[in-house]
Each structure stands twice: as C-alpha cells, then as structure tokens.
Chains A and B, each alone.
Chain A
Amino acid sequence: MSQSKGSVFHRLYVGTGAFDIVGKRKRWYVLFGVVLLVCLASIVFRGFNLGIDFEGGTRIQLPAASASGKITTDAVKESYTKAVGKEPVTVQTVGTGDSETIQLRSETLDASQVTSLKAALNNDVKPTGGVGSISDSAVSASWGGEITTRALIALGVFFLAVAIFLALYFEFSMAIAALVAVIHDVVITAGVYSIVGFEVSPATVIGLLTILGFSLYDTVVVFDKVKENTRGLLGLTRRTYGEAANLAVNQTLMRSINTSLIALLPVIGLLAIGVGLLGVGTLKDLALVQLTGMAIGALSSIYIATPVAVDLKMRDPKYKAQANRVKARRENLAKRAAATGTTVEAAGDVVESTDDDALAAELRREKALSAAAGAPSRTTKNADARRRPTGKKHR
C-alpha cells in the first residue's frame, strides 16, 4: 500500500479510499460544529444587513453619463433634495463603462413624487436617454417579509418532501443524514451573510433555497455510491459499513470536486459580471449566495452527510455484529501472517464493485429489451432488398 499512495492528486484521481474521512468523523463534527455555532451566534446577535426590500423604500437608478460628461453623486443628491425636500438615504455610483449607473435610495415615495423627482433629475443632471432612462423601484416594507415567509414555508415543504423521497429511495438513516447536511449548509450560508454583512435581498433568499437543491444533489450522488458499495455487505467480512462508505466517498471525491468546480465556474462568471458590469442587483445577489452555498454544500455531503449516515447505521446491531466479524477476521489474518512471518498487504483498497449481481441482472434485462424492441438488423434488410426484384410476394 505504501508505494501506491503517490501524490494527492493521483490518490484523488484513482479514488482508492486513501483518505480516511469517515473514520475521523469526530474531528469533522467538532470542526463543523464550531463553525455552525459561530454562524448561529452571528445570526442571533448580529442579525442581517437587510436590503431595501425588507425595510421599504424607493430606489432610483440612472445612467451616470450625460451630454456634459459624468454625473456626480453630489449633483444627484442636490437635485433630489430640491425635488423632494429631504435628504436621500444613499447615493452611489455602481458598475463600470457603459453600464455605469448612479443609484439613489430614499424613503418610500409615492407615484407622483417619483414622477416629479424623475422630471427634476432629468432637468438638473440631464442623463443620456432623457427621463426614459431613469429606472425606479418602490418597495413596501412588508414585501421582503412576505418573500421570506413564503421562502420559509417552501423550506418546510421541501424538507418534508425530500425526507420522504430519500427515505423511499435510500433508507431512513440516509434521509436524516442528508437533511442534517442541508440544514447545516443553510445555517452556515446564512451565517456567512451575517458575519460578512452582505446585503440580504429577495434574490439572496431565492439563492439560499436553491442551495438546498444543489447540496442534496451532491449528497445523493455520494449516497448512491455508498448504497452500491454496501449492497450485500452483511454477508461479507471484507469491510465494515464505515469503511465501505469511506470508499464510496473516496470514489466520488473526484466527481464531487469536478462537479463543484463545474457548477461554481459559471457562478463565478455570474459574480464577476454582476459586480463588475452592473455593480448591483439580482445577478450579484444570486451569485454571491450560490458561491457560498455550493462550496459548503459540496463539503458537507462529504464531511457531514456520509459520517452521519454511518453513525446512524452503526446503531443497528446487525451492522455492529458485522463490524465485529470483520475485526475478528482481520485479527485472524494478522495472527496467521505473524506466524508465517510475512507482511500482509491489505487488498481491501482495490476498487471493486460489490453489486455485480444487480448490475448483471440489469444488463440482462436491457439486452432482452433491446432484443424485443429491435427489428433484426442489417442482414434482414439486405435480404429484403435482394428479394424484392424477384417479384415474389413478401409475407
């Protein structure tokens, strides 16, 4: 085993179970538990930086370019004060190049105030494109709350539906483990938002919900391999449930990394564009929350979901007994090896499939199906073609 270890990348690529993830699960529990607590504490004590949609207000956006050069935020502020009679909450420049805009936030204005403000801005700072180029959005303070309420309902329904689906497709312990991982992801992502102080918008809430799908997706792929590796495990003494699960994690490790990278690359693109070009808005909010959540989702399916599934599974006396048998056999082997004076290379790390029977059955069925569906191929067709000119009746 020693010389086959190779570089980290090689071990990853080959996926032979060289990383003991499940065995050291206590370590991961402590590590992620601490992170989780920090996040929870921050959510409770610091709270979130809620955006305009949660506090209510009006947002005006206009191009930063005018015929007479760049529009300054001061000019916009002045114009606002003149038109509305109060100070705006914030005025800032966002985005770059042609997409550069000025964003103004204020307390909620009614429709006629917005119209007069737009007219005033158009008169004072003359943005390119005239009054038609000024965008506005007014949000009532309750709107963000409603989105959040609905999101929480969606969250509850989702957890329930997923628990049922996973319990049916895998087994109960795996369903629980997957949910633990997902909840962990949501809390940590929310915690990161609270700690860093990113602004929370409805788009962020959306993003948070979609993390759930992604995180579970990842977990399902790993669990699928665990299920495959542990089929018929109880009848064998080759490895324990934990070891089989660890092997599955290793076998899917490269896939997890690949998937996460492939999923994150577009999101990074989204973030770069959302921040760089537009400065703010839906794209940025979604990208930021996805970036955080996806990274954590991939980690948790490896470090949380599988270990928890193993722990739950090992409460079953049957699996405990099997683990003892494995241990006994190994001790036996070791004793024999000691007696003969040779060192044993554990062969357990070779990747092999334990569900060959199931696979063979499926392949057989496939064969039968394609035989039933497929018309006898080419040869018959050729025969047909040859027969036709003879004019004989074809039956």
Chain B
Amino acid sequence: MAPPAGQIRPAKYLGAFVLIVVALYSLVFFTGNHKPTPKLGIDLQGGTRVTLTARAPDGKTPSDEALDQARMLIETRVNGLGVAGPEVVRDGTNLVITVPGTDSEGAKRLGQTAKLNFRKVIGSPVPNAEATPESTSPSAPASGSAAPTTSASTPPPASETASAPTTTAQGRPAPAVEAQQPTTTAPADSSAPPATSASAPPTSAQPEPADCDKVLLAGEYSDDATKAIDESRQCRQNPQWAALDPQVVQQALGAFVCPKIDPLLGNDDPALPLLTCDQDRTQKYLLAPVTPPADGSVKDDDYSMYSRLTGEDIANAISGANPQGAGFVVNLDFKSEGGAKWGKFTSANVGQLIAVVLDSQVVSAPSINEAILGGSTQISGNFNQKEADGLANVLKYGSLPLSFEPSEAETVSATLGLASLEAGLIAGGIGLALVFLYCLFYYRLLGVLTILSLVLSGVVVYAVLVLLGRWIGFTLDLAGIAGFIVAIGITADSFVVFFERLKDEVREGRTFRSAVPRAWVRSRRTILSADAVSFLASAILYFIAVGQVKGFAFTLGMSTVLDLVVVFLVTHPLVVLVSKSKSLSNPKLSGLGGAVQAGAEERALAKSAAVKEV
C-alpha cells in the first residue's frame, strides 16, 4: 500500500539524516587525531602567512613545473624551520606559506632565497660608504688593483695534501675554500694599493643612457617594475666590465650606490657581469658572468672567469663545527657535473674570490685556496653557528627555478587571532539569534522547525569542516567564518521559499495536510535552481580568485550543498510530520492562520463576483 501522492514516510528521511550525522561524527572521533576541532587559519590562531608571487624574468607566466618545483623547495625549507604544522600551498602563480604558532617569523625570509649562482669576484669588494658611514673617509677608496693575480689578505695556510683527484671524495671534504666574511675582508683590503680615484668623472666607458647616473649614484630606479629591471640591467650589467680593465672596474665600484630596494633581485642576466652588494649592503662587488656569452667566442674549457655553476649543481651542504679549531664550517658537495666544473674553475682561479650570489646579492665571498677536484668543498671562516647554518641552507635550497617577491606577509599574534575568532563566533551567534527571533515571530511553529533545521545544518557543517581540515587541509579563516554567517541567510531562505509556497497553497483553500506535498514539489524546484546558482557562484569564485576569497567561497559553497541535504532530509519530513499531527497543525500555531483567512475572504469575494458575472 503506497502512501498517497507526495506523502513520504518522514521517518525514512530523518533516519537517513541521523545515519549521515552518525557516520560523520564517527569519522570525526575515530579517525585522524580524534579531536573535534577544525583546522584554524593563522588569522584565527596566530602565526605567519606569506604569499609569494612568482616573478618570471621575462614577464611570461611561470610554468606549472617550475612552480611545483619551487613549491617543493620552499616546503623543504619551511620544514627546516622546525616549527609545527607549516604548509606551502600553490595558489595560481602564488605560493602561500602558512606557519602557525608564535615562533613563525622565520617564514618571512624563506621567499627571499631564490636564484643561486657562483660568480667570480672581479677586483676586490669595496665597503659601501652609505651603509657604513664611519668607515667612509679613511678607507672608502680602498680597493685592490683589478689584476686577476691579486690575492686576498692572508695567504692561505698550507693545506694538507689535497685529496686524490681521481676519486669523487665522498669521504672527507677536500680542505679548501677559506671563507672571508665580507666584513673581515674590508680592513684587510685597505692595505691594498690605494685606488687611482674615486672621483673620476663618470665615464666614457659607459655608453648607457644618462639615467644610469641616477641608478648608480643615487640608487634611484623607476617606479615601474619592468622598467626598473631594465634600467638596472643596463646600468649594472655592463658587458665591458668583463674586459677587466682595472680602472673601469674601480670606477664602477666607486660610483655605485647599493639600492635599498633592489629591483634587479633575481633578475640579473647570468651571461653578463654584475655590479651588486652583499645582503647587508655593507660591501660592493663587481662580479664576473656565470656563463660565457652565447656567441661561442669563449672556449668551452675556459674557466678563467666563468664558473658556469648555479645552485642546481649543488648536491648538498651541511654546516658543522670546524674540525680544525674554533668556529663553524660549511661542507659543500657538488653533483658530478657540478664537481667537474668546480674543479676546473678552482684550478683556474686559485687565490681569487668566488661569490655565492643569491638573487643578485652576495651571500658570501670566500677565497679559493687551491684547486678542488673531488666535488667536495669546505668553506671555513669566522662563522658563528647561525651564519654557517644560514649559508648551508642557502646553498642547499637556494636555487629555485623562479624568483619570488613577497606580496603579502602577515604575522598575527595569538591574542589577536583569538580575539578575531571570538568576534567571529559572537557575530555568528548574534546572527543566528536574530534569525531565530524573526522566524519565531513570523512563522511560529514553522519557525521552530526552521531553527531546528538550522541547528542540524550547523551540526553537519561542523563535522564536515573538521573532516575537510583533516583530509584536504582546509583551514577555517576569518573570511571563511564570514562565509558561514552569510550562508545562514541562504540556508534559511530555502525554508522561507518552502513555507511561502505552503502559505500559497493554504490560501487557495487546501488544508495544511494536503498543501504540504504540492508546496514541496513546487518549492523543491525553486530551491534546487536557486541553490544551483549560488553554488555556481561559489565554485567559480573558488577556482579563479586568490587569497582569502577561496576560504569564503569554499564555506559558502559547502553550506549551500549541505543546505540541500538538510532541506530534503530534515525540514520537509518534519513539516510532513507536523501536518499529520492534529494538535500541531492547528492554524493558529502553525502561523498559517492569516493565509487561511485571507484565502477564504478572497474566495468568497471571487464567488460573489462570479455569481454576478454569470
């Protein structure tokens, strides 16, 4: 015996809903970490979030592979911070680093490390007058002659016999490069022959347009990023410097002012010389090209100037205590091909300085004490442990296939996060309470059903939130909370549509009981199509927009889907139940009394009109 049309068995639907809730909550409590707490964004629990935007040197959109590779590299580095729960997520051409907790500021520096290569230092580094004003007058002009034979301050200590060149020297690192912290080189350099003139007129050797004066002397660049990169390439990557004329080199170094914000960062051309500073802007360097010009004018085995080495040639770098005494050293291993290049380069440049250049800035410029053929190298110097760790990290992870700039870096304190979370919850609570009041006032008994449905909807949403946080790493942030609060309205609207239809049907003279199936069939269609539009909107937002928009769109879309579940499995069956119960379907209680009355009045009116008409 089938029930009459549209007369569903409410118990079945309600049962299905209970099953869903039970299933969801058993997943919540019996899988993962068993804790019923959703994953919170850093704006709610405190922490650091850095959004890095990829900058491709040629202005093209970076490739997916490059971005993924960069993501993995940065992830490794983030994990190296040693804090709990870090995350690197790709979002379009952005990488979003999220590090929860109070000790998360280190994340801000991760994006800095980008393009790594090795460049031979031409001439000697010059202290940056502006950054170290106390040293200006006495020692500013200090600079060695640019002759390639110049050796750095101290003669290299007689090293033990070099390890056998035939092996790849896995065992012990070849005693090798002695590092010279740029700061320690400075005073040593001042003993070098004084330079001809720092005040030489600039300069017939520079055929660049006039604005190079501004770039070099004042460190001023155009506001437009592309133009600024172009300017700095033109002015600071003069191919003529590769000719090694000591006077030109000297002039260039002397005239250069380290820019505060360097547009060239990560955008230098490896085939050209480079005029740049170290990361603290205390020293100025003129660096040789990494690779020889593409025209073939330089022989393949000419390593006198070209290291041909980038960060990708490095296999590993580890910092550790110096076995030969105080301080710390960095042990560097090259990949096989990189080792070969390194061997040839160091053979050709004993006594010279080699700069580790990260994103166009010099990280460290140790001198080469001897040819290093094994593929393993030790860099020693006046490092403290932190510096050694830093250098090792730069060497190990430094080479990203892309350079990045931080678009947004945010550290939220735990107290502020907590305050925001509280505020969000209070706002949601107030919103719900207002909706409850209005529903009770307007729909009475049906209002109670609305409230019940909303609460149950909340129960489901919460479970899904916890589970999604566990499965796909969905984090609830402030925008997400706002999404839920806005979704209260959309969820409640489904009920409003249904109840208004119900009212229509009652007004047409049907009993509550017979009105329910008709109203349901009609409103179901409306609810489905309206929710479809709403879901479409959130889905498009989610896939196209960036940043916080995603959280908002996700929660909105999710609420829309769960709203359908609740309307179909809870609200409709409950209304059916009420309509079957005599005491509950009392028009006064159901809030439909007005409609019944109005309908009756109108029909009476229409009847009289019709009678008159006939």
Interface residues, chain A, with chain B CB atoms under 8 Å away: 1, 4, 10, 13-16, 53, 61-63, 98-99, 101, 110-111, 114-115, 129, 132-140, 142-143, 146-147, 150-151, 153-154, 157-158, 161-162, 165-166, 169, 202-203, 205-206, 209-210, 212-214, 216-217, 220-221, 224-225, 228, 251-252, 254-255, 258-259, 261-270, 272-274, 277-278, 281-283, 286-287, 290, 294, 342-347, 349-353, 359, 362-364, 366-367, 370-371, 374, 376-377, 379
CA distance A350 to B507 in the complex (A): 10
Residues of A within 8 A of B427 (CB): 266, 269-270, 272-274, 283
Residue B22 lies at the interface, judged by CB distance under 8 Å to chain A? no
A269 interface neighbour in B483, B485, B537, B594, Cβ under 8 Å: B485
- How far in angstroms is the closest Cβ of chain B from A28? 23
Q: Total contacts A to B, CB within 8 angstroms?
A: 329
Residue of B411, B534, B548 with most partner-chain A CB within 10 A: B411
A-B contact pairs, 21 of them (CB 8 A): A4-B605, A14-B595, A154-B544, A206-B479, A206-B548, A212-B537, A258-B496, A259-B489, A263-B488, A266-B427, A266-B488, A270-B486, A274-B427, A278-B419, A281-B478, A283-B482, A344-B613, A346-B609, A350-B603, A362-B521, A363-B518
A269 and B430 within 8 A (CB)? yes
The residues of A that contact B546 with a CB separation of less than 8 Å are 146-147, 150
Q: Is the CB of A135 within 8 A of B406?
A: no
Which of B1, B482, B608 sits near A282, CB closer than 8 Å? B482
Q: A374 and B9: CB pair below 8 A? A: yes
**A212 vs chain B, min Cβ distance (A):** 6
Contact A374 B430 (CB under 8 A): no
Report, nearest first, the 6 A-B pairs whose CB atoms are least far apart: A266-B431, A263-B489, A213-B537, A371-B2, A345-B609, A269-B430
Query: Are B486 and A210 neighbours in the complex by a CB distance under 8 Å?
Result: yes
Chain B nearest Cβ from A146, distance in angstroms: 7
Across the interface, do A268 and B434 meet the contact criterion of CB distance under 8 Å?
A: yes
Given A16-B602, A220-B526, decide whether A262 and B536 contact each other with a Cβ distance below 8 A.
Answer: no
The interface residues of chain A lying within 8 Å CB-to-CB of B497 are: 221, 255, 259
Q: Is the CB of B407 within 8 A of A359?
A: no
The distance in angstroms between the C-alpha atoms of A192 and B556, with both chains bound, is 24
Residues on the A chain within 8 Å of B564, using CB: none
Of all chain B residues, the one with the shortest Cβ separation from A355 is B522
Contact B408–A266 (Cβ < 8 Å): no
Contact between A265 and B435 (Cβ–Cβ < 8 Å)?
yes
Q: Is B529's CB under 8 angstroms from A169's CB?
A: yes
Q: Are B610 and A347 in contact (CB under 8 A)?
A: yes
How far, in angstroms, from A290 to B430 measured CA to CA in the complex?
Answer: 17
Given contacts A220-B533, A264-B489, A266-B489, is CB(A150)–CB(B2) below 8 Å?
no
Known A4-B601, A147-B547, A374-B2: A267·B431 in contact at CB below 8 Å: yes
Q: How large is the interface on B (under 10, 10 to 19, 20 to 34, 35 or more residues)?
A: 35 or more
* B108-125 interface code vs A (CB 8 A; 1 in, 0 out): 110010000000000000
Assembled-state Cα–Cα distance A369/B586 (Å): 30
Shortest B281–chain A CB gap in Å is 11
Q: Which partner residue on chain A sits nearest B524 by CB separation?
A: A362
Are A202 and B547 within 8 A (Cβ)?
yes
Chain B residues with CB under 8 Å of chain A are: 1-9, 43, 51, 53, 92, 102, 105, 108-109, 112, 225, 261, 405-416, 419-420, 422-424, 426-435, 438-439, 442, 478-479, 481-483, 485-486, 488-490, 492-493, 496-497, 500, 504, 507-508, 517-518, 521-522, 525-526, 529-534, 536-538, 540-541, 544-549, 552-553, 556, 594-595, 598, 601-603, 605-606, 608-610, 612-613
C-alpha spacing A138/B547, complex, angstroms: 15
A282: chain B residues within 8 A (beta carbon): 43, 478-479, 482, 548
On whether the beta carbons of B435 and A157 are closer than 8 Å, the reply is no
Q: Which residues of A contact B411 (CB under 8 A)?
A: 135-137
Known: A221-B530, A224-B525. A269 touches B431 (CB 8 A): yes
**Shortest distance between the CB of A236 and any CB in chain B (Å):** 17
Contact yes or no, B504 A351, CB < 8 A: yes
CB A42 to nearest CB in B, in angstroms, measures 25
Q: A129–B413 contact, CB under 8 A?
A: yes
Chain A residue with the shortest CB-CB distance to B493: A259
Q: How far is the CA of A62 from the CA of B6 in the complex (A)?
A: 60
A137-B410, A266-B432, A277-B426 given; name 6 further pairs at CB < 8 Å. Answer: A53-B408, A137-B412, A224-B526, A225-B526, A294-B489, A344-B612
Given A262-B439, A265-B434, A362-B521, check contact A133 B415 (CB 8 Å): yes
Question: Is B533's CB under 8 angstroms from A165's CB?
Answer: yes
Contact between chains at B489 and A267 (CB < 8 Å): yes
Tell whether, in the assembled complex, residue A111 and residue B549 are in contact, meaning their CB atoms are under 8 Å apart.
no
With A210-B552, A366-B521 in contact, is A135–B413 under 8 Å at CB?
A: yes
A383 to B173, CA, bound (A): 89
Contacts known (A151-B549, A216-B537, A359-B518); A262 close to B423, Cβ less than 8 A: no
A367 touching B406 by the CB < 8 A rule?
Answer: no
Contact indicator A224/B419 (Cβ below 8 Å): no
B6 touches A270 (CB 8 A): no
When chains A and B are docked, how far (Å) is the Cα of A220 from the Cα of B414? 43
* B431 and A258 form a contact (CB under 8 A): no
Set of chain A residues within 8 Å of B112, measured between Cβ atoms: 111
Are the CB atoms of A254 and B500 closer together than 8 Å?
A: yes
Chain B residues with Cβ below 8 Å from A347 are: 606, 609-610, 613
Q: Is the CB of A270 within 8 A of B482?
A: yes
A344: B residues at CB distance < 8 A = 609, 612-613
> Which residue of A143, A258, A268, A290 contacts B51 across the interface (Cβ within 8 Å)?
A143
Known: A162-B536, A221-B526. A136 touches B410 (CB 8 A): yes
Give the CA-CA distance A73 to B463 in the complex, in Å.
43
User: Is the CB–CB distance between B416 and A133 below 8 Å?
Assistant: yes
Min C-beta distance of A158 to chain B, whole Å? 5
Q: How far is the CA of A370 from the CA of B608 in the complex (A)?
A: 41
Within the assembled complex, what's the spacing in Å between the Cα atoms of A376 and B545?
52
**In this complex, what residue of A is CB-closest to B505?**
A353
Shortest CB–CB separation between residue B562 and chain A, in angstroms? Answer: 16
Q: Tell which of B53, B483, B609, B613 touches A142, judged by Cβ atoms closer than 8 Å.
A: B53
